[in-house]
Amino acid sequence: MNTNLIGARLKALREEKNLSQDDLARVFGFKDRQTVSAIETGERRLSADELLVAVQKLGASLDYFTDPFRLVGEGRFNWRQSNVPAAVLGAYEKIAGQLIAAFRTLGTQIGEKPSLVRRSLRLTKTSRFEDAAEAGERFAATYELGDVPARRLADVMEQKLNILVLMVTPSHVGVSGAACRLPDLDVVLINRDEVPGRRHFDLAHELFHILTWDAMPPVHIEDATETGGANRVEQLANAFASALLMPARIVRTVVDWGTLRGDALAAALNATADRLEVTSSALMWRLVTLGLLAKSTALAVPGDAIRNNGHPTGHFAEDATSHRPPKFSKRFVEIVARAIDEGRVSTRKIASLLGLSVDDLAETFDAHGVPAPYEL
């Protein structure tokens, strides 16, 4: 077991129990807190006897410290959600952590090495919204996302930026997605049951957080809105996401937006949003930002007249399932398949970790075009 992981878990448990390093030093019988600090940072190994002391006196299981398929005390999450109870979100965070830990553990076992380079944007909380939008446009151009940036974004994030993108089915419909920062890995999770337009916006939004995490760490939990509310970091993230998914060079040339009203405007918004695979409301406010549509005109558009990627407003659940992508990602299932083939993990073990039956696991390989391991 990696010394750094045990140290991180010990620190997380200490903080959960509101203990100081001095308190923990007394539990172990150390002379001072520096020994605890060295263990928590991975500079000193926790001996077998000391590990048993931690289990017995801190009320944690041995698995808490030694199970590599857990994420404890390392990952920092930013969740986009709507009215999800804290307890429910906390429980799902553990499930998400299990997926991330499985990828990292199996990847390490088969020889995958973490990226040594992390991309970042030169933006801060004091940056203008125009700066964030310009960064979004520049990202789309630099990575040649084409005329429908949403379509290639996830692949570019995984292949060019080494950001793991997981399509998941959260335990609550109000969870839109999350970004997760680990010392050696960045991850974005997206609710695959949402309509494509919302999925793509969440993906671009969370990409912003990954690229600016050090300069402006996001809050643990945020409301999933396209306006960002009163939080400036979220507003910057939305400006970036809108510009990335709807570059000015594309939306300016569709129609003369300023001449449209009523049904004609709604129809143009719906058609263009469908082509760009974004929501009509996100497109409408992008046009307002660009000065192509008056705010008063946008506010006059009836909410039930615009659609979200071909889906009537308010009918996400019944329509989304026919458009959802397969679970996880191709990169993720390739790692899993190789690990099974090399005997690093059993089929039943990984199926249980991923919350799937063995048959569902086989279908997931097939959905991504990844040959099923011999064991299946």
* Structure confidence at residue 321 as a pLDDT band (50, 70, 90): low
In this prediction, residue 228 carries a pLDDT of: 56
Selection from 213-227, 288-302, 315-329 with the highest mean pLDDT: 288-302
Q: What is the mean pLDDT of the chain?
A: 91
- Model confidence at 117: pLDDT above 90: no
Count of C-beta atoms within a 10 Å radius of residue 238: 28
Selection from 43-57, 102-116, 206-220, 361-375 with the highest mean pLDDT: 206-220
For range 118-134, the mean pLDDT: 96
The DSSP result for 43-102, as a single string, is SSPPPHHHHHHHHHHHT--HHHHH-TT---SS-EEEEEESS--HHHHHHHHHHHHHHHHH
Contacts (Cβ under 8 Å, ≥6 apart) of 34: none
What type of residue sits at position 102? A
For range 276-281, the mean pLDDT: 94
For range 307-322, the mean pLDDT: 51
The percentage of the chain sitting over the pLDDT mark of 70, rounded to a whole number, equals 93
Report CA 216 to chain centroid distance, whole Å: 16
Q: At what angle do helices 48-58 and 3-16 cross, to 10 degrees?
A: 20
In this prediction, residue 315 carries a pLDDT of: 42
Question: Which residue do the tokens 């997760």 mark?
Answer: 180
Q: Among 107-116, 178-187, 239-248, 359-368, which stretch is predicted with the lowest mean pLDDT?
A: 107-116
For range 4-21, the mean pLDDT: 91
Contacts (Cβ under 8 Å, ≥6 apart) of 258: 292, 293, 294
The model's pLDDT over 280-310, given as tens digits with 9 standing for 90+, comes to 999 999 999 999 999 999 999 988 888 766 4
Contacts (Cβ under 8 Å, ≥6 apart) of 99: 166, 168, 189, 328, 332, 353, 354
Radius of gyration of the chain measured on its C-alpha atoms: 23
In this prediction, residue 309 carries a pLDDT of: 63
CA distance 285 to 294: 10
Report all structural domains of the chain as residue ranges with CATH numbers, in order of start. 3-66 (1.10.260.40), 69-325 (no CATH), 330-367 (no CATH)
The DSSP result for 13-24, as a single string, is HHHHTT--HHHH
Q: Among 192-201, 297-306, 340-349, which stretch is predicted with the lowest mean pLDDT?
A: 297-306
Beta bridge partners of 180: 77, 187
In this prediction, residue 314 carries a pLDDT of: 42
